[in-house]
A and B are shown apart, each in its own frame.
Chain A
Amino acid sequence: MVGRHRLRAAFAATATLTSVAALSQMSVAGATTEPPDAAAEDTAAASEAVDLSAFEGESLTYVYFTDGAPDEEATRAAIAAFEEASGATVELQIVPFADLETTLQAQLSGGDVPDVARVSNWRPFAGDVIDMNEMFGAAYSDQFLPGQVATALGDNGEFLAVPSDITMNGPFINVDAFNEAGVEIPTEWTWDDMIAAATEVQEANDMEFALAIDKSGHRVSTVLSQFGTTLLGPDGVTLDPAMAETAITTLTDLMAEDTMSADFWLESGSRYAGANEMFLAGAVPVYISGNWQVAQFAETAEFEWAAVPNPCAERCGGFPGGKYMVAFQGSDNPELAAAFVEFMNRTEIQQQLAEGASWLPTRNDLIESGITYPNRPDDMSVFLADIAATPEDTYLSLASPAFSAAATAVIEEIALVVAGEEDVPTAVENIIARSEQGLEDAA
C-alpha cells in the first residue's frame, strides 16, 4: 500500500508544482476568450480521434450533481452541443450530492449501470470506470493540469477520471457590512487580522457572529494547512499534533467566545452543514467556503460581497478540491460514454462551462489562455491567486484514499471539543488514530 502511495506521490509531487505554476500564470480579467494555437491543435486532435457521428441515434445517461442553478444551465447547454454534434441523446439524471455515491453504487451493483457520472471522489468506482488514456491514447491526460491528473490516476497509472473543474477554498466577506463598519477590505491578512476585522464588523453591524465556516472536514483542512499541517500524505498520516492543536484551538475558542456559532456545529449532528445561508442572511460578515459559491452568491445575495484572499498563519493559500467525469465500463455503450466525457472536456466546452458556472478549468490550454468570466471576474481572480499560494502537500492530502475518513474524524472530534466532552490534544490524537484506521481500511 505504501508503494502505491509512493507511486501517487511521485506523480503528484512533480505534477502539483507544475499545475500551481501554470495556474498562477492564468489571467482572468481581460484575458482573451479565444483558445491559443496549442489549444486549437489539442481540440482538433481530440475531434479527429472521436467520430461523433458514429453515435447518431444512440443514447446515454449522465448522473450529475449540481452546485446550483448556473452550473446546471451551463451543463445542459454543453449537452445540447453534444447532441447536435453526435445525433445521440443524453439523459441528465440529477441526484443530490449527499446521495451520489450511494446512487451510483446501487446502480452498479444492480446492473443498471449509468454511462457517465460527475463525481467528487472517483476512488469507490476505480474498478468500474474506463481508462481514458487507453481509450484516447496515452497522451490524452497531458491536456489537463498535471496536479489534477495526479489525483485521478489508478494504482497502475490508469487515467480513470477526467478532472472537469478545480475548486479552491477561501473566504467571502460582506462588503456592505465592512464599509458600514469602516473596516478596510483586505488584500492580504493573517488569521489574527481576520478575526479582529470580522469582530469589528460584526459589532458595528450588530450581526449574530463574526465568522462562519462550513461544517466540513474539507474546509477545516484549509485551516489546518494555514496553520502548517495536513491530514495525510503519500506515506500515511502527516498531521502535526502541535500545529493541529493550534488550528483546532483557534476554531473552538472562537466558538466558545460566540465569535463563531457553536450551535451551527452541534445542532446538525453528523450531517454536513453549509454556512452559506448564514452569510446570505447577513448574520455573519466573513464566511469561509470556496469558489463554487460565486455563481450562487452572484444570483442570490442581496448585498455587496466579495471573495478575499485566504488568511495566513504559518503559511498562506487555501485547500484544493475538484470534480471529475467518469465513464463506466459496464454501461450499454462505453465508447459513447467515453466520447461524451472527452467532448465535455474539450477546450471550447470546458471554457463554456467555466464561464457559465464560474468553475476553474482543468485544461492546460485554458490555463494558458485564461477565462473571461462574465460574472464576478475579480472574485474568480482571488481564488486563482490563492491556488498559486496553496502548498503542494494539500494536493497530496486530498489525493489520499483515506481523506474522506480523516475528514469525517476531524468534524466529529471538533464537535466533541465544542461540546466540552474532550480536550483538543485528545481530539488530535483521535483524528490521527482514525486517519490511520482509514488508511488501513482503504488498503
Chain B
Amino acid sequence: MTQTIKKSRLILPGIFILLLAGAVVALFVEREPTPLEFKAQMGVSIISPPITLPDVSLTDQDGKPFSLEQIKGRWSLFFFGYTHCPDVCPTTLANMNQLAKTPGNSEMNYVFVTLDPQRDTPEKLKEHVLYFNPDFIALGGDQENINRLAEAVGVIYEIEDDKGSDNYTVNHYAAILMMDPQGRLRAHILPPHSTSKMVEVVQKIREYYGE
C-alpha cells in the first residue's frame, strides 16, 4: 500500500517534468520552414532562420527614445542611408512610398535608419524622411547603437572623404530589409526596388511566413 502511493507520487511529477521539458524544447526549436525561394534576378535573400534584432537604443524623428520592440506586431521594411544622399536614398524612399500606397501594404512599418547621425539630427530626419510619407519612421541616435544594429542585420557602410568637411559621402549597402512581426530579420531585398517587384516580393514573404 505504502509502496504504491510512493510510486504514484513519483510518477505524476515525473510525467509533469517531462511534459514541461518537451514544451520548453518545442518552444526553442520552433520548426523553421524550408526557406522561401525567389528567382535569382529578383535579388532577394531570405534569412533562415531569422535574426533577432539587437536591443539597441535609438532616437525617433521627434527626438524620443525608440526601442525596436515598437516595430513588433506588423511586418516592417527598413532602409539604412543618410539625408545628404542625392540619388539612392531619395529613390528608395520614393519607392517605399509607392509600395505603401498599394493595397494591403500601408499597415507595414516603413523605417529609415541614418548611418550619418553626425549630420542627421532628429529634426533633419523628420523633415527629410517624412517628406516622402508622413507615416514613415526615421531613426537616428549615437553611432555606436546604429553600428550595432547595422552590423547585426548585415548593412555595411563606409565614410568617404573628410568627415570634418561636412561634405562627405557615405557609401552604403542599399538593400531594403524586411522584418517579421516578431521583429526578426527575414529578408534582404536588393535594388532596384520597382513597385511591381516590391509588391510581389513583400506579398510572397508575408503569405509564406505569416503574420
B and A form one assembly: no
